[in-house]
Amino acid sequence: MNTEQLNTELEGKDAESIIRRAWETFGPGLVFATSLAAEDQVITDIIARNKWPIPFVTLDTGRLFPETYALLAETEKRYGIRIQVFFPDRAAVEAMVAEKGINLFYESIENRKRCCHVRKIEPLQRALAPYRAWLCGLRREQSVTRAAIQTVEDDAANGKVKINPLAAWSEPQVWGYIAARQVPYNPLHDQGFPSIGCAGCTRAVKRTEDVRSGRWWWEQPEHKECGLHGR
């Protein structure tokens, strides 16, 4: 079955059915890349509750909020899982910082994309390398750059199949699930951070603003992807 057929079959299905079908289709070739966002915590809860042996991976960019590290530890403890952490290449970070400075990302889109490449994209490629497909917590509502995502799509940048079980979910659905199941979540969400990334590149937003508006707030909305979800 190709990606398009699988997407047609799963579009409109509930998240649990989508993840189950992904596991049946890809087996040990399936991984979940979590950033510990609210959506990712929902997917973690579904995987753990069903005891599917899907491995968890995450990225430590070296610039995360302390609250994110605390949530990583809390999530592992709550579900009795290990989330494999991938770090950036030390030499690449050192060379970048030596050339451009520690906060290079404020100076240009080019610098910001270079930092995201070194700290996120290359480590993600390493994390995904052994797998054929990955689960991801993207939702269409999140931003203009995500409005067209499919439940199952080809991830050409990484040469994988990407499965977005929450593609059609609304924000209230995510928070309803978290409340009902007492899923651990990042306390920064209660302090005006709907989307949480690296500390230097994320700020609180007003309730009326787009959920991704606090990420790279100095850039235009159409540039606001780090390359992890290139389309």
Residues that bind ligand SF4 (CB under 6 A): 61, 63, 105, 112, 115-116, 119-120, 197-198, 200-201, 226
Identify the CA nearest to 195 among candidates 173, 215, 219: 215
- Nearer to ligand SF4 among residue 161 and residue 226 (C-beta): 226
Q: Which residue is nearest to ligand SF4 (CB)?
A: 198
Count Cβ atoms within 10 A of the Cβ of residue 93 and give its class: 0-12 exposed, 13-18 middle, 19 or more buried.
middle
Number of C-alpha atoms within 13 angstroms, CB side, residue 178?
20
Residue with smaller CB distance to ligand SF4, 63 or 139: 63
Q: What is the rounded CA–CA span in Å between residue 36 and residue 202?
A: 15
DSSP letters for 204-225: ---TTS-TTTTBSTTS-GGG--
Q: Which is nearer to ligand SF4, 165 or 197 (CB)?
A: 197
Q: Residue 121 Cβ, how far from ligand SF4 at the closest point, in Å?
A: 9
Identify which of residues 24 and 110 has a Cβ nearer to ligand SF4 in the complex.
Answer: 110
The nearest distance, CB 13 to ligand SF4, in angstroms, is 32
**Parallel, antiparallel, or unpaired: how do β-strands 133-135 and 152-155 relate?**
unpaired
Question: Residue 81, SS3?
Answer: coil
Nearer to ligand SF4, 16 or 210 (CB): 210
Q: Is residue 198 annotated as part of the catalytic site, yes or no?
A: no
The minimum distance between CB 3 and ligand SF4, in angstroms, equals 28
Q: What are the helix (H) ranges across the chain?
A: 3-10, 15-26, 38-50, 66-79, 90-100, 109-116, 122-128, 171-181
CA angle 16, 20, 147 (to 5 degrees): 60
For 133, list phi and psi in degrees, rounded to 5. Answer: -145, 155
Min dist. Cβ of residue 118 to ligand SF4 (A): 7
Q: Write down the least CB distance from residue 111 to ligand SF4, Å.
A: 8
Active-site option among 116, 136, 198, 226: 226
Active-site positions read 226
